[in-house]
Amino acid sequence: MDSEKLLEEVKGILKKDMDNEGKLKQICKLLKDRVKHYDWVGFYLVKKGRLVLGPYVGEPTEHTDIGFGEGICGQAADREETFRVQDVTKEDNYLSCSVEVKSELVVPIFKDGEVVGELDIDSHEESPFTDEDERLIEDICEEVAELL
């Protein structure tokens, strides 16, 4: 995976003349298409204090509205930190989307010091996420924060 190139492509998408929803969807598609171990990529956006599913690419999920503290997404929002879970079966506070998902990376998006959304990645591989994945997704979230 070429993180620098992917980040540049994300910046290119953000500059396009298109609505925010279209841009976020394109970012999801770029990441899912180009990184082999990304099987579901989606944004949750904070609305009325809850995480509401926004643009995503991958199988539909029943978890379209998640409270802070619930599941991995909710914990990341509540603790305001990245969650890298290499084996979801070891996580008690987890909302399963599909039995195929083995691991998950959730990065909060901050605006003026507050969590306004998240980028969530599910993988069908166990322990696929490295520091490089975490850095890339955190960098992308910083860029996306400008939109929200």
Strand partners, 47: 50
Which two tokens mark 39?
Answer: 């099987």
CB of 117 to ligand SME, least distance (A): 13
Which two tokens mark 28?
Answer: 């999801």
Number of residues that bind ligand SME (CB under 6 A): 15
Sites for ligand SME among residues 114-133 (CB under 6 A): 120, 122
Q: Is 41 in the site for ligand SME (CB under 6 A)?
A: no
Strand partners, 121: 41, 105
CA angle 82, 23, 138 (to 5 degrees): 20
Q: Where would I find the beta strands (DSSP E) of the chain?
A: 40-47, 50-57, 65-67, 83-85, 103-111, 114-123
CB of 49 to ligand SME, least distance (A): 16
Q: Are 54 and 24 in contact (CB under 8 A)?
A: yes
Q: Are 144 and 109 in contact (CB under 8 A)?
A: yes
Q: Is 104 in the site for ligand SME (CB under 6 A)?
A: yes
Give whichever of 2 and 81 is closer to ligand SME, judged by the CB atom.
81
Binding mask 46-85 for ligand SME (x = CB under 6 A): ---------------x-x--x----xxxx-----------
Among candidate residues 132, 126, 134, 66, the one with its CA nearest the CA of residue 106: 134
CB of 86 to ligand SME, least distance (A): 14
* Region binding ligand SME by CB under 6 A among candidate stretches 17-25, 30-38, 94-102, 139-147: 94-102
Contacts with ligand SME, residue ranges (CB under 6 A)? 40, 42, 61, 63, 66, 71-74, 94-95, 97, 104, 120, 122
